[in-house]
Amino acid sequence: MANKNNKSGGRIKSSGGVKKAPTKKTSKPKVKVIAKTTKKKKTVTSKTTTKKKPNNPEYVRISENAKASKFNEMGERIQKGEIKWSFYSIDGNIGYHNYLKLK
């Protein structure tokens, strides 16, 4: 007897026998559509000026073995805006503070 919930109607399902080999999908290469451009005149906008960095910046080099008075002098020059600390370097066993000259 077939049940109301049984949709197969009492038939036995079979796999159908021989399985098919998977097929490879061949896809056509996508062609890029290049939009036609029209020549437009370029408008010149106002140019902004930028500060040019000096090609060869000048540095003041102070040894770590220098007297405290020399470091005090450098501190005063930094506060005045004449120089700024740039980097620390080592030459042999001696370290150096390098200051960039601004003015």
d(CA 81, CA 77): 6
The answer, yes or no, to whether residue 3 has pLDDT greater than 60, is: no
Give the residue carrying structure tokens 């540095």: 59
pTM over cut 0.85? no
Question: Higher pLDDT residue, 87 or 20?
Answer: 87
What is the rounded (10 degree) CA torsion for 84, 90, 94, 100? -20
Q: How do residues 17-59 score in pLDDT, each as one tens digit?
A: 677 777 777 777 777 766 666 666 666 666 666 766 657 889 9
- Which residue would you say has higher pLDDT here, 64 or 15? 64
Q: Look up tokens 């003015």; give the residue.
A: 103
